[in-house]
Amino acid sequence: MITALIIFSNKLNAQTYVAGDSVPTQNYNVGLIDSNHPYIGMQFNTTTAGLGASPATNSDLFVRLSATARNYGHAYSGSGTISACITAGTVPQGTVFTLISAPCTTTNSGGSLGTPITTPIILSTTDQNIVTNIGTCYTGTNDTDGYQMTFSWYSDNYKQIHSQNTTITITFTITVAFH
């Protein structure tokens, strides 16, 4: 019987059926931005009579983002940016408020994370880039993931400074513009 199966085995035919369907996908341009929302209190301080107040700095803020881009069938280069500006309040007379970004943390991130501007920007009501060349990427969601921002506040004209409390709102914007 085994001999008969061997002889007829090349005569046995199996049928193969293949079934399938198209599955369209879409990946939209996405630009999401958030921060860890820390309290950033800054004050001039001096402990020695005759000395000016020391500049104040704070690096507690981390900006996080997610960005994706459609490339419309073409190669694309990242030209996304993160910018910052003052949207409420005023920097007190005789002082300057600056901001600089560190490179993105890499523990929980991936993709084309961009390049921080290497010199601090003087914050004003005009939007200014602080990170450029962002491509498709994500920066993580933990409180210390993303781009660490360092604020500095110092005097540029000491005779104009007077005692006051001021609240300033800084707005960060992601622009996802890919081509």
Scanning the structure block, which residue is given the tokens 């996080």?
Answer: 64
Facing residues of 11 across strands? none
CA distance 17 to 136: 40
Cβ contacts of 126 within 8 Å, gap of 6 or more: 85
On whether the CB atoms of residues 38 and 60 are closer than 8 A, the answer is yes
On whether the CB atoms of residues 33 and 172 are closer than 8 A, the answer is yes
CA distance 39 to 44: 17
What is the pLDDT at residue 99? 97
Scanning the structure block, which residue is given the tokens 């600089």?
Answer: 100
Count of CB atoms situated within 10 Å of the CB of 32: 12
What is the pLDDT at residue 175? 87
What is the pLDDT at residue 68? 82
Q: Exposure of 36 by Cβ count < 10 A (0-12 exposed, 13-18 middle, 19+ buried)?
A: middle
What is the pLDDT at residue 13? 59
pLDDT tens digit at each of 179 positions of the chain: 555 545 555 555 566 777 777 777 666 667 889 999 999 988 888 788 888 888 899 999 999 999 886 565 554 556 789 999 999 999 999 999 999 999 999 999 999 899 999 999 999 999 999 999 988 899 999 999 999 999 999 998 888 888 888 899 999 999 876 55
CA distance 82 to 67: 11
What is the pLDDT at residue 44? 81
